[in-house]
Chains A and B, each alone.
Chain A
Amino acid sequence: MGIFVYLRNLCIFIAMKDNSPLFRGTLTTVVLKLLSDNDRMYGYEITRKVKELTDGNIQLTEGALYPALHKLEAEGLIEATIEQTGNRPRKYYHLTKTGKKEVKFKLADFSSFITDIQLLLNIKPSL
């Protein structure tokens, strides 16, 4: 059983480290989900929200977040509007119609993936 505990701890450790490949793979899903819960958001707001929701365990780096946002924008899943806030322009992102559909698929996909990983690594979900 030792190997499972080791793997679990490793996963938690990697997941906590910002910019890790493990988290990066899920980043687009996280961004889409946040945008579906909040009407529109800007880059810094997303990093703050992720930090707040994970009690500071996950800190998004700019080098990971902005490429992810630009990728989703290029894929047509999110759209941006520019608005003047105070003394500077701000780029707000919101989901497109396709994005709204996609977020449901991604979440369903992801939760079944988590269930599989839990089975594989013998992690009991804390309820």
Chain B
Amino acid sequence: MEQVNKDFKLSDAEVGQLFRFTEKKFVHWYDLQIEMVDHLASVIESEMRSDASLSFEAALNKVYKSFGIFGFAQIVRERQNQLALAAKKRWWSELRDLFGWPRIVLFLAIVSAVYTLSLSVNAGILTEIFLAIYFFISLALLIYVVKDVRLQKQLLLLQNGSGYVSLTFTFEFMVAFLYVDLSPLVFTLLLTIGILIKLTSFTLYRKVRAEAKAQFPRVFAK
């Protein structure tokens, strides 16, 4: 007859072993690891409770097989896709917020101020000022995101939020390309939009980071 141990629980060392196991199976991100480890551990505990002769390794093998031939790969891939989709949606809603009431008033005020200024002062200088602001914001965002590299390697959630830096670079190329032939006023307006897009990415990344910090304080504490 099989031995039954109803109170069996995995030891700390065995849980640690499960974390290393997921790492070895290419789940590098802590936010996904904890879910996989908890699942593996729960099934292993239930298996070992009903059959005390079963070893930890044998139980782990059995559970991992139930994930199918692709193992964790499918779960990782779909998680990445879903996060990318969610980030895209949130990015647009952030941009909408930026143009929403009452910020739209601020935006229109800036545009009319730029227009009035361009009539009276040398528009060339205005362009230079906006260009400086734009690149300052770009640089700040880049530094802000790059200094989180360690965290991004550990949290899939955060790694995804950083993807929006590249998106806004497309806009920079466009601006640089158009610079040649544009009138300073149109160029300045384009840059204003560019700054708003940068600010959107910046706000989104900060929000995602704050959420990640609230959910995974341990990763941030290291």
Contact = CB atoms under 8 A, between A and B. Distances in A.
Interface of A: 42-44, 61-63, 66-67, 70-71, 73-76, 80-82, 85-91
Given A66-B78, A74-B85, 15 more contacts: A42-B38, A44-B39, A62-B66, A62-B67, A63-B67, A63-B74, A70-B79, A70-B82, A70-B83, A76-B86, A82-B34, A87-B11, A88-B15, A88-B41, A91-B38
B41 A67 contact: no
Interface string B12-24: 1001000000000
A86 B38 CA distance: 11
Contacts of A44: 38-39, 42-43
Interface in B69-116: 70, 74-75, 78-79, 82-83, 85-86
Contacts of B38: 42-44, 85, 88-91
Given A43-B39, A63-B68, A71 B34 contact: no
Contacts of A90: 34, 38
24 contacts: A44-B43, A62-B66, A63-B67, A63-B70, A63-B75, A66-B35, A66-B39, A67-B74, A67-B75, A70-B83, A71-B82, A73-B86, A74-B82, A74-B83, A74-B85, A82-B215, A82-B216, A85-B38, A86-B9, A87-B11, A88-B15, A88-B38, A88-B41, A89-B38
Given A67-B74, A90-B34, A62 B79 contact: no
A91 B75 CA distance: 15
A62 B39 contact: yes
Interface residues of B, number: 27
Nearest to A18: B66
Interface in B41-80: 41-43, 66-68, 70, 74-75, 78-79
A61 B72 CA distance: 12
A42 B9 CA distance: 18
B67 to A, nearest CB: 5
